[in-house]
């Protein structure tokens, strides 16, 4: 693959990257998608059920990811499984650097998405995979008839609690405030579940266990009293962070590490575009990521015409 001058290199193959690949390929661009994971689909792969993507109500996230990738495959899009570490910007040529290769291209779309945030408490990394999880859909089945905790108060945390309540004996939802941020419809569904207990105004201070999670230590955010609960697993759903750390040479970012770009995907650097969850935007969803991919390719085409 060395020696080719690509029109476009897309970094990441979640919904934004795959949409860009489909639009780019159909526009006749010489393009390559670089994806660090063995599978395309990004965060969608970890979604139990996607109920808000137009025309695909109730679709399993994994199947959706596979379907998105199959579309790109059918058009003959080239993929390579490597992690991008650096983008070098020349006047007209950009070089995308991975651990193994250097690829030359006229334009780049950064579609590296986002990842789960961590709690940062003692026991979290030590017991990761031993009861500490960031994906209820992936790991929930291991906790059938057990007691688990979900940490967070947004859509993902409440969705996870609802999902886990189907199989687990008891689900604690630990939230640091006295009201949830999740959509009203999700809150209503949660409140109907008799095996979910919300621990309001609480933060997790430590996760304990020998070879498996056994206990979480809590602190009240108002009166600072300490408490603990016996649990078999804990699902962390406290938000996402953009996947921009570890990549050198990126365009300007905001204070949270999101690449500053509007709907057209244009960034502070010529010929480098951003699409999907990684860019500054209001709503981070599959449908907006897919739209971003299409918009970014339109900007790429405009840029190439004027090169």
Contact footprint for ligand FAD (CB under 6 A)? 11-17, 34-37, 42-44, 46-47, 50, 52-53, 83-84, 111-114, 156, 243, 247, 276-278, 284-287, 289
| Shortest distance in whole angstroms from residue 307 CB to ligand FAD | 25
> Residues near 134 by Cβ (< 8 Å), separated by ≥ 6?
116, 118, 235, 236, 237
How many CA within 13 A on the CB side of residue 170?
Answer: 10
| Shortest distance in whole angstroms from residue 3 CB to ligand FAD | 21
* Per-residue b or e along 27-60, where b marks 16 or more CB atoms closer than 10 Å to that residue's CB: eebebbbbbbeeebbbbbbbbbebeebeeeeebb
**What are the residue numbers of the active site?**
135, 138-139
| Shortest distance in whole angstroms from residue 106 CB to ligand FAD | 19
Q: What angle do CA 176, 178, 183 make, to 5 degrees?
A: 95
| Shortest distance in whole angstroms from residue 228 CB to ligand FAD | 27
* Structural tokens at position 116: 């789960």
DSSP letter (8 states) at residue 127: T
115 vs 201 by CB, closer to ligand FAD: 115
How crowded is residue 244: how many other Cβ atoms within 10 Å of its Cβ?
19
| Shortest distance in whole angstroms from residue 17 CB to ligand FAD | 5
Tell how strand 215-220 and strand 226-230 pair up.
antiparallel
105 vs 112 by CB, closer to ligand FAD: 112
| Shortest distance in whole angstroms from residue 257 CB to ligand FAD | 12
How many Å apart are CA 58 and CA 34, to the nearest integer? 29
> Residues near 151 by Cβ (< 8 Å), separated by ≥ 6?
119, 157, 174, 175, 204, 234, 235, 236, 237, 238
218 vs 237 by CB, closer to ligand FAD: 237
229 vs 281 by CB, closer to ligand FAD: 281
Tell how strand 94-98 and strand 84-89 pair up.
antiparallel
7 vs 159 by CB, closer to ligand FAD: 159
Residue that has been written with the tokens 């996230």 in this structure: 61
29 vs 275 by CB, closer to ligand FAD: 275
Q: Counting beta carbons within 10 angstroms of the beta carbon of residue 166, is it exposed (0 to 12), middle (13 to 18) or buried (19 or more)? A: exposed
How many Å apart are CA 205 and CA 125, to the nearest integer? 13
How many CA within 13 A on the CB side of residue 285?
Answer: 10
3-state secondary structure of 13: coil
269 vs 289 by CB, closer to ligand FAD: 289
């Amino acid at each position: 693959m060395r020696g080719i001058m690509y029109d476009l290199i897309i970094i990441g193959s979640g919904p934004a990257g795959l949409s860009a690949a489909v639009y780019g390929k159909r526009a006749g661009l010489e393009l390559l998608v670089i994806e660090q994971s063995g599978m395309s689909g990004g965060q969608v792969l970890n979604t139990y059920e996607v109920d808000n993507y137009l025309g695909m109500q109730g679709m399993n996230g994994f199947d959706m990811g596979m379907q998105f990738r199959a579309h790109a495959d059918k058009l003959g899009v080239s993929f390579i499984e490597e992690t991008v570490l650096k983008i070098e910007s020349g006047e007209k040529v950009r070089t995308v650097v991975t651990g193994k290769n250097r690829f030359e291209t006229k334009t780049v779309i950064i579609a590296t998405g986002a990842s789960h945030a961590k709690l940062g408490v003692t026991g979290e990394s030590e017991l990761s995979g031993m009861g500490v999880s960031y994906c209820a859909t992936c790991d929930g089945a291991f906790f059938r008839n057990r007691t688990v905790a979900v940490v967070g108060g947004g859509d993902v945390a409440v969705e996870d609690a609802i999902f886990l309540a189907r199989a687990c004996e008891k689900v604690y939802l630990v939230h640091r405030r006295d009201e949830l941020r999740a959509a009203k419809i999700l809150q209503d569904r949660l409140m109907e579940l008799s095996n979910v207990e919300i621990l309001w105004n609480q933060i997790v201070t430590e996760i304990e266990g020998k070879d498996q999670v056994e206990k979480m230590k809590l602190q009240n955010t108002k009166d600072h009293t300490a408490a603990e609960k016996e649990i078999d697993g804990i699902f962390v759903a406290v938000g996402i962070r953009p996947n921009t750390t570890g990549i050198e040479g990126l365009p300007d970012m905001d204070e949270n590490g999101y690449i500053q770009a509007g709907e057209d995907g244009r960034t502070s650097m010529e010929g480098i575009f951003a699409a999907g969850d990684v860019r500054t935007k209001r709503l981070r969803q599959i449908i907006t990521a897919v739209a971003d991919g299409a918009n970014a390719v339109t900007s790429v085409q405009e840029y190439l015409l004027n090169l």
